[in-house]
């Protein structure tokens, strides 16, 4: 695997001292992962952190000083970062007790007092800028907005911004017109006495206008901003995207060129009729800086909450997508079981085959993320992506993990299955079964309204903890409806997120506990689950209670299970789940004429015990 050399760092350090771009010189420069919309995944032209460091994971922050280069990332990516970073970089493992935060590290390596730390304000959210600025200032340092991105100046081959075609969704597909969504947002604005609402998150803009794009790989979004006032709706977008059909769909929306967003916001803030401008703390500091302090209102975006609760039409689309996806995965497992003994199947060819089977399903758009196809020790790299340099042969002697998903018109999928194509060891079976017990425990949970996901996280870890095992990632994330596969503001994690909201009926989240043994194997079992009303004997305080219902319908390999570790209730859950899989997927397989796969499904869903 090629690693980023010191030449790029030397160029960046030279720019940090160049008075044409920064004056006085900078002592450090911060390169976050995101784009001007604080997206988790970014377009190629915004992949600055990967360009400067060589680390391609979806989460991380790089900091370059005159003498040091360090990269922070979380437990999902420790092993990947170790493999991809050159010796010029120091890996900072976020979340470990001995790892300093970015600000503490900067305070330790910069000269005492007077340090100047630069960054592009469009790439830093308000929620990240403010505490970092405060912590650095307390030690005599200054966080500086650098208007021209210094990484871009070193990146001579930087790709042009994308310009994908737009997909118009019907009201029948979404369950609500964009006009009704604007009205719902304005109701929220009125409650907070806001006269304008700034929307910078790409999935929120796509959801609001019932449009989808493909500017960012695997994410059906398009580069854009929106501003809603009490009497106007404004969309900032590349005009090349605006066909006559799109313009007709957006009749009533004031259209602006994408690059005019910041100027428009600044001028809007000067108007006497604009009393308060609401933007999310996840919006960029550059957007925040356009608004006078007496007019800015920083609160979580109401669109994020509205979007996370699926309409009945969206839920129907999600469930249909899961059945199509299950058909493709069943075909994949049939193929894999036949071909593995040929010795020609590799991690990459397996991932490609899974994508092929998905692509044959009606309404397939794209994958929803890079397929994690990993055999043996590669499975312990939580977000492993095989490359030509790392590609290994898939064999019947090791555990195989595939975490994959797709975008279909109507729904987004995300499924992980861990299988063994030979005979698993007793230790592998025990680890798998303890992960399964946690998966079932969470899926069976009954909890009152207003409970947040972090309060449920331990349910999935309980049976691993019993024997001193654990995993270094959250247990679940929200999933969009033909939108981003990772969707806030709900989730299930040991980390407490200040912007997290309570779980609500008709949200979709994942249930994905795991266990990873470095150098040996990885195990994860992931379903998408919807939040549903629970039927309980009592209703304490008239709160109302909720539970989960799996919508992923893919068999869980029983070969990997040590049935002696399961309770009767857990076996009943598994058998009921497989009965549902057999019914829904079986009917679809028969309708598509896939008889061989149907016979495989019957065997894969036989009751346990």
Contact yes or no for 17/25 (Cβ under 8 A): yes
Residue among 441, 427, 362, 369 at smallest CA distance from 398:
427
pLDDT above 80: residue 4:
no
- DSSP string covering 443-484: HT-EEETT--GGGTHHHHHHHHHTTT---SS-SEEE--SSS-
pLDDT digits (tens, 9 = 90+) for 574-583: 999 999 999 9
Beta bridge partners of 367: 406
β-strand pairing of 254-257 with 233-237:
parallel
Coil, strand or helix at 203: helix
Query: What region does 63 belong to: left with phi over 0, alpha with psi -120 to 50, or beta?
Result: beta
pLDDT digits (tens, 9 = 90+) for 391-421: 999 999 999 999 999 999 999 999 999 999 9
CA angle at residue 280 from 284 to 226, to 5 degrees? 75
pLDDT above 70: residue 127:
yes
pLDDT above 90: residue 3:
no
432 Cβ contact list (under 8 Å, min separation 6):
418, 424, 523, 525, 560, 561, 562
How sure is the predictor about 1, in pLDDT bands with cuts at 50, 70 and 90? very low
Residue among 327, 317, 312 at smallest CA distance from 581:
327
pLDDT at position 497:
86
pLDDT digits (tens, 9 = 90+) for 540-573: 999 999 999 999 999 999 999 999 999 999 999 9
Residue burial 452-476, b: 16+ Cβ < 10 Å; e: rest? bbbebbebbbebbeeeebebbbbbb
pLDDT above 50: residue 592:
yes
The helix or strand, by DSSP H or E, that contains position 134, with its residue range, turns out to be: helix 126-137
How sure is the predictor about 76, in pLDDT bands with cuts at 50, 70 and 90? confident
pLDDT digits (tens, 9 = 90+) for 314-342: 999 999 999 999 999 999 999 999 999 99
- Measuring CA to CA, how many Å separate 413 from each of 510, 527, 563? 10, 9, 29
195 Cβ contact list (under 8 Å, min separation 6):
189, 229, 230, 273, 274, 275, 276, 277
Coil, strand or helix at 560: helix
Supply the DSSP symbol for 526. B
pLDDT at position 313:
98
Q: Calculate mean pLDDT across residues 2-26.
A: 88
- Measuring CA to CA, how many Å separate 521 from each of 78, 427, 431, 432, 516? 15, 11, 10, 11, 6
Q: Is the torsion defined by CA of 384, 385, 387, 392 positive or negative?
A: positive
pLDDT digits (tens, 9 = 90+) for 440-485: 999 999 999 999 999 999 999 999 999 999 999 999 999 999 999 9
pLDDT at position 114:
85
pLDDT at position 5:
62
pLDDT at position 163:
93
pLDDT digits (tens, 9 = 90+) for 81-117: 999 999 999 999 998 999 999 999 999 999 877 899 9
Contact yes or no for 509/503 (Cβ under 8 A): yes
pLDDT at position 82:
94
pLDDT above 90: residue 121:
yes
What percentage of the chain has pLDDT greater than the value 90? 96
Could you tell me the domains of the chain? 6-154 (3.40.350.10), 167-307 (3.40.350.10), 309-604 (3.90.230.10)
pLDDT above 60: residue 126:
yes
Q: Calculate mean pLDDT across residues 250-259.
A: 98
Q: What is the rounded CA–CA span in Å between residue 37 and residue 214?
A: 15
pLDDT digits (tens, 9 = 90+) for 500-538: 999 999 999 999 999 999 999 999 999 999 999 999 999
Token pair for residue 378? 């590669």
Number of Cβ within a 10 Å radius of residue 258 = 17
In the block, tokens 């210094």 appear at: 150
């Amino acid at each position: 695997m090629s690693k980023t050399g010191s030449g790029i760092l030397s160029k960046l350090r030279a720019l940090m001292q160049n008075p044409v771009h920064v004056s006085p010189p900078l002592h450090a420069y911060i390169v976050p992962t995101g784009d001007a919309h604080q997206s988790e995944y970014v377009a190629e032209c915004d992949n600055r952190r990967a360009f400067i460091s060589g680390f391609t994971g979806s989460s991380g922050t790089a900091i370059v000083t005159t003498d040091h280069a360090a990269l922070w990332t979380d437990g999902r990516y420790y092993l990947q970062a170790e493999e991809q970073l050159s010796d010029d970089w120091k890996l900072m493992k976020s979340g470990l007790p001995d790892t300093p935060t970015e600000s503490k590290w900067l305070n330790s390596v910069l000269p005492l007092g007077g340090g100047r730390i630069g960054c592009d304000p469009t790439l830093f959210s308000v929620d990240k800028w403010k505490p970092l600025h405060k912590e650095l200032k307390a030690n005599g340092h200054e966080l500086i907005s650098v208007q021209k991105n210094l990484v871009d100046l070193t990146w001579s081959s930087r790709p042009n911004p994308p310009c994908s075609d737009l997909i118009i969704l019907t009201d029948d597909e979404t369950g609500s017109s964009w006009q009704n969504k604007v009205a719902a947002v304005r109701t929220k604005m009125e409650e907070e006495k806001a006269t304008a609402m700034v929307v910078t998150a790409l999935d929120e803009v796509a959801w609001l206008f019932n449009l989808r794009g493909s500017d960012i790989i695997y994410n059906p979004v398009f580069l854009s901003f929106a501003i809603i006032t009490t009497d106007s709706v404004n969309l900032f977008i590349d005009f090349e995207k605006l066909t006559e059909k799109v313009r007709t769909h957006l009749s009533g929306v004031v259209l602006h060129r994408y690059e005019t967003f910041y100027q428009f916001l600044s001028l809007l803030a000067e108007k006497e009729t604009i009393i308060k401008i609401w933007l999310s703390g996840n919006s960029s500091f550059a957007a925040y800086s356009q608004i006078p302090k007496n007019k800015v209102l920083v609160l979580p975006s109401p669109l994020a909450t509205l979007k996370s609760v699926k309409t009945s039409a969206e839920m129907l689309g999600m469930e249909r997508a899961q059945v199509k996806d299950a058909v493709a995965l069943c075909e994949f497992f049939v193929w894999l079981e036949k071909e593995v003994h040929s010795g020609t199947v590799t991690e990459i060819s397996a991932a490609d085959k899974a994508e092929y089977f998905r692509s044959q399903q009606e309404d397939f758009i794209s994958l929803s993320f890079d397929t994690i196809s990993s055999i043996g020790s590669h499975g312990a790299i939580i977000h492993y992506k095989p490359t030509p340099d790392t590609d290994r042969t898939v064999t019947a002697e090791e555990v195989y993990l595939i975490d994959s998903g797709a975008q279909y018109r109507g729904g987004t999928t995300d499924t992980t299955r861990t299988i063994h194509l030979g005979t698993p060891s007793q230790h592998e079976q025990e680890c798998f079964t303890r992960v399964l017990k946690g998966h079932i425990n969470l899926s069976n949970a009954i909890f009152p309204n207003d409970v947040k996901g972090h309060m449920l996280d331990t349910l999935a870890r309980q049976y691993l903890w019993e024997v001193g095992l654990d995993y270094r990632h959250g247990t679940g994330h929200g999933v969009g409806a033909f939108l981003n596969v990772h969707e806030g503001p709900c989730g299930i994690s040991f980390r407490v997120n200040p912007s997290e909201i309570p779980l609500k009926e008709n949200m979709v989240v994942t249930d994905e506990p795991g266990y990873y043994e470095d150098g040996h194997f990885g195990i994860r079992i992931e379903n998408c689950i919807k939040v549903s009303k629970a039927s309980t004997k009592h209703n304490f305080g008239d709160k109302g209670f909720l539970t989960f219902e799996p919508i992923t319908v893919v068999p869980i390999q029983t070969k990997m299970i040590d049935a002696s570790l399961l309770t009767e209730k857990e076996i009943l859950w598994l058998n009921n789940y497989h009965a549902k899989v057999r019914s829904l997927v079986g009917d679809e397989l028969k309708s598509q004429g896939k008889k061989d796969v149907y016979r495989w499904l019957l065997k894969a869903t036989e009751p346990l015990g």
